[in-house]
Amino acid sequence: MILFGAGGHCKVIIDLLTLNGQKIDKILDDDPLVSEIYNIPVFKNDRKIPLEDTIISIGDNKSRKKISELYGLNYISAYHQTASISNFAKIDSGTVVMPNSSIGAGAIIGKHCIINTNAVVEHDCIISDFVHISPKACLAGQVKVGEGTHLGIGANVIQQVNIGKWCVIGAGAVVLNDLPDYSVAVGNPAKIIKINDDN
């Protein structure tokens, strides 16, 4: 097992995998100041990565996408023991599901997503690749979230809302209406404060 990235998100994934009884062989990161995390050695990425089970342990959505496109690795998903995941949900490769989160029946979660601590993804939601749903964020049924979007801590989205790709939803925001691609939305009710045009 290899983890790609040695930041804070890596520590959380190490904890998750250790609880599951999985052994982590090494961590790859280009930061010369980090040599180990929790007694696991950190190696500089030499671009010749062996084909082992790998998780991209980086919280930034754009970075996860870039790495996944650069390397054709054997990406796996990981779920915390306390997560509640419906037998009728589908979760793609590279996604991590953190403690006490809940994924409902019929939900579809894309590749390399982060479903963070105490987050709720209700029935029939569709979450695209590289999405990060922060701690205590809650999506009601049939919500759609586009690629690379980040829902901030404690954000709430009512049922059947469509959120575009590469949006940023502020902490505690309450999303009542559809949001177009690249929106930055904050508040209760959530209002668009800008459209990011650098994506």
In DSSP notation, 21-54 reads: TPPP-EEE---TT--EETTEEEE---S---S-EE
Whether the CB-CB separation of 87 and 103 falls below 8 Å is answered with no
- Lowest-pLDDT range of 69-73, 98-102, 119-123, 130-134: 69-73
- Lowest-pLDDT range of 34-48, 64-78, 97-111, 112-126: 34-48
| 3-class SS of residue 66 | helix
pLDDT score for 188: 96
Q: Which of 3-7, 31-35, 168-172 has the highest mean pLDDT?
A: 168-172
| CATH number of this structure's domain 78-191 | 2.160.10.10
Give me the catalytic one of 80, 112, 123, 150: 123
153 is in an annotated binding site: yes
80 is catalytic: no
115 is in an annotated binding site: no
Using one digit for the tens of pLDDT, what is the confidence trace for 55-81? 999 999 999 999 998 887 789 999 999
Domain boundaries, the chain: 2-71, 78-191
- The domain made up of 2-71 is a member of CATH 3.40.190.10: no
Matching fold, domains 2-71 and 78-191: no
Q: Give the integer Cα–Cα distance in Å for 142 and 51.
A: 36
Helix (H) or strand (E) holding 98: none
pLDDT score for 18: 93
